[in-house]
Amino acid sequence: MEESRSESPFELVEVKNCVDVDVSQSDSSTPSSFEICSPKSQQTLTSTSPIPFDSDNDAFSDGLDDFHDQIAETREKFQNLKESAFDISKKSKGLIEVFVKLQQVNGTIAQSRGDVDQDSRTIRELLAASRNKLATIMEGLRDRRAQIIAAEA
Whether 90 and 33 have beta carbons less than 8 Å apart is answered as no
CA distance linking residue 19 with residue 78, whole number of Å: 14
pLDDT digit string, tens, across residues 58-110? 666 777 788 888 888 988 998 888 888 888 888 888 888 888 999 999 989 98
Whether 9 and 49 have beta carbons less than 8 Å apart is answered as yes
Q: pTM for the complete prediction?
A: 0.35
